[in-house]
Amino acid sequence: MRRLILSAVFFALLALPRIASAQSGPYSYYPLSPCRVVDTRNANGTNGGPAFGTDATRNFQIRGFCGVPTTAKAVSLNVTVTQASQASWLAVWPSGTARPVVSMINFEPTDPALANGIIVGLSSATQDLSVYNNFGSVHVIIDVTGYFQ
């Protein structure tokens, strides 16, 4: 098990220069008081409902909400899932780019709510980020905790 973990860390470290070179920078981090930018439990709307279904992707605008300026290049988020109908996973990434091959949160229907903190770049497209749910239905809540520019 230790060998598997060390291998995963090794390959993740190898990927960092490639990931870092894709973004120009350096950027400064600006913390924000946590602020809800997406909640699919709310009425249907741009950053509200409905819940995600199977194989569903939705795009969300983050810049201009909760103190995130239009010049932000990336955001620090807390992503929460709740009321899942079956085991699944979410991916979050900049809109207009290829969906990543890794999940950012895995969950079961027995989880009352499960959260994970992430940092994600923002797209240069109209919508800032995309969220994908693999199986079943689930509500997604996204709180912004800071931004980079």
Q: What pLDDT, on the 0 to 100 scale, is given for residue 36? A: 98
Q: Which domains does the chain show, CATH number per domain?
A: 25-148 (2.60.120.340)
How far apart, in Å, are the Cα atoms of 52 and each of 16, 20, 33, 80? 31, 31, 26, 13
How far apart, in Å, are the Cα atoms of 118 and each of 7, 42, 78, 91, 142? 22, 23, 6, 11, 10
Is-cis flag, bond preceding 112, omega within 30?
no
pTM of the model: 0.81
> Given the DSSP bridges, would you call strands 74-82 and 113-121 parallel, antiparallel or unpaired?
antiparallel
Q: What is the largest CA-CA distance in the chain?
A: 47
CA 47/CA 9 separation, integer angstroms: 35
How far apart, in Å, are the Cα atoms of 122 and each of 56, 69, 104, 115, 148? 20, 12, 16, 20, 10
Per-residue pLDDT of the chain (149 residues; tens, 9 = 90+): 455 444 444 444 444 444 444 557 799 999 999 999 999 999 998 899 999 999 999 999 999 999 999 999 999 999 999 999 999 999 999 999 999 999 999 999 999 999 999 999 999 877 899 999 999 999 999 999 999 99
CA 72/CA 30 separation, integer angstroms: 10
